[in-house]
Structure 1
Amino acid sequence: MRFAWDYTQEPALFTSFAVVFEGPDHLGEEEFESSLWDRVQSLTDKDSWRGQDHDPRVSADPDDPHFALSFGGQAFFVVGLHPQASRPARRFTHPTMVFNLHDQFQMLRGQNRYEKLREAILDRDVKLAGDVNPMLARHGEISEARQYSGRIIEPEWACPYSRTPATEARPDPLAALNSFLGRT
């Protein structure tokens, strides 16, 4: 949340937040994907508990083509990396989640720089893997949730994620426990 809030105060291009996990490093693609969504769900639940609403510029529905994750009121595109990834561009020594702000993509579009950067990324992917990642799509074509883990997703895939609006979110369990114990 701090990263999102800091960005809101001082927007800057090419700013991402990477979370590198110590392990496990042996996860296959489906196991990594499951772990990624477990972590995302946990973060989302905490965001809702803290009263943060989903960024209104994107959908909270993972089946919607305009879906994006939201933390601290900012929309994010997540890139999952791990040692066992089938795509070379998605391999990293440890499981990692890179949070890229959607707002930056809009800034690049506004500066007419987005398409050139996108083409450079696609060219790099071809040089590394021999072809363009078949899961890549533009925002609004299909749900970006299908792209987060980096594995090829089957057409019948169902995203294991849901967002509870902040007004309906269950209480923060730590705050509830502290309240129960009489702590502030």
Structure 2
Amino acid sequence: MQLPRDDTNHPQAEAFRAFIRDAGFPCVGAKSALTKGQMRVLVARDITSAWDDMRIYPALMAFAARYRRQPDLFQSFAVVFEGPSDLDEEGFERHLWNRVQSLADKDAWLGHPWDGRVAPEPDSPHFSLSFAGEAFFVVGLHPNASRPARRFSSPALVFNLHAQFEQLREAGRYEKLRSSILQRDEALAGSVNPMLARHGELSEARQYSGRVVDEAWRCPFRPRATDTTASGTA
């Protein structure tokens, strides 16, 4: 695997930071991460290709390790892809899950345990992704997103730590922060995001791409096999 490189001054990274800083951008958590210097940005080539997966995965592992050493609030890891810019919402969703699946397969191959605080089954209301033993919620952005808050100039995946949501809940700050984000998002879009739900109510997998999906939608993610299924005794 390639070691993580510093993409701080890459034009795509600068464009992404400017997008987050914009006054209308609703996620105050992302703004805080940026202000605190705790938003890591990696620039990759193409979301439809596995070309940079071997760069993305070690950078994600390094991010998780840094968080465990210093679990400060408002840390995010963003992968900004240079293209393509012409994906529709279904196409972006498909490639988002392809990239996530590739990263999860590498995590499984290295033997990292699934974070026990969340479920690996994508249809579970307690589902989250897990990399290097840390649970993550993913926010997808791309040029043709229907929600303005998800409409960035190129595809991007932002990995947010599940543990930070729990920290906010324990500190009594979660509901206030969530309410602020929802109000700002409604002001920007003119409507409430119909896909939002609290962890434990519905599978968060439905929210990752930003596309509005109905009850018939099924997440394409394949969780790693358990010991039972791997042995063929299921």
* TM superposition score normalised by structure 2: 0.70
Q: Are residue 126 (structure 1) and residue 186 (structure 2) matched? A: yes
After TM superposition, list the pairs within 5 Å mapping 1:1-184 onto structure 2.
Answer: 1-165=61-225
How much has 1:9 moved relative to structure 2? 1.4
What percent identity do the matched residue pairs reach?
63
How much has 1:22 moved relative to structure 2? 0.5
How much has 1:2 moved relative to structure 2? 1.3
Regions of 4+ moved over 6 Å: none
Structure 2 gaps, min length 5: 1-60
Cα distance between partner residues in 2 of 1:165 and 1:10: 32
Equivalence for 1:178: none
Cα distance between partner residues in 1 of 2:203 and 2:226: 22
CA RMSD of superposed structures (Å): 1.6
Per the alignment, in what secondary structure is the counterpart of residue 103 of structure 1? helix
Provide the aligned length of Structure 1 versus Structure 2: 170
Cα distance between partner residues in 2 of 1:37 and 1:122: 25
Cα distance between partner residues in 1 of 2:102 and 2:64: 17
Per the alignment, in what secondary structure is the counterpart of residue 118 of structure 1? helix
Cα distance between partner residues in 2 of 1:85 and 1:63: 23
How much has 1:48 moved relative to structure 2? 0.4
**Contact residue 50 and residue 166 of structure 1 kept, 8 A:** no
Per the alignment, in what secondary structure is the counterpart of residue 136 of structure 2? strand
How much has 1:15 moved relative to structure 2? 0.2
- Aligned partner letter, 2:87: L
* TM superposition score normalised by structure 1: 0.89
Q: Deviations over 1:38-85 (max 9, x none)?
A: 000000000001111110000000000000000010000100000100
- Of structures 1 and 2, the one with the larger relative CO (CA 8 A, separation 6+) is 1
How much has 1:166 moved relative to structure 2? 8.1
Cα distance between partner residues in 2 of 1:13 and 1:60: 24
Cα distance between partner residues in 2 of 1:9 and 1:79: 24
Per the alignment, in what secondary structure is the counterpart of residue 78 of structure 2? strand
Structure 1 gaps, min length 5: 171-184
Give the 3 Å change call, closer, same or farther, for CA 165–96 of structure 1 in structure 2: same
Cα distance between partner residues in 1 of 2:148 and 2:222: 30
Q: Deviations over 1:145-184 (max 9, x none)?
A: 000000001211111011215869x9xxxxxxxxxxxxxx
Cα distance between partner residues in 2 of 1:166 and 1:48: 11
Q: Deviations over 1:126-154 (max 9, x none)?
A: 11111110000000000000000000012
- Aligned partner letter, 1:75: A
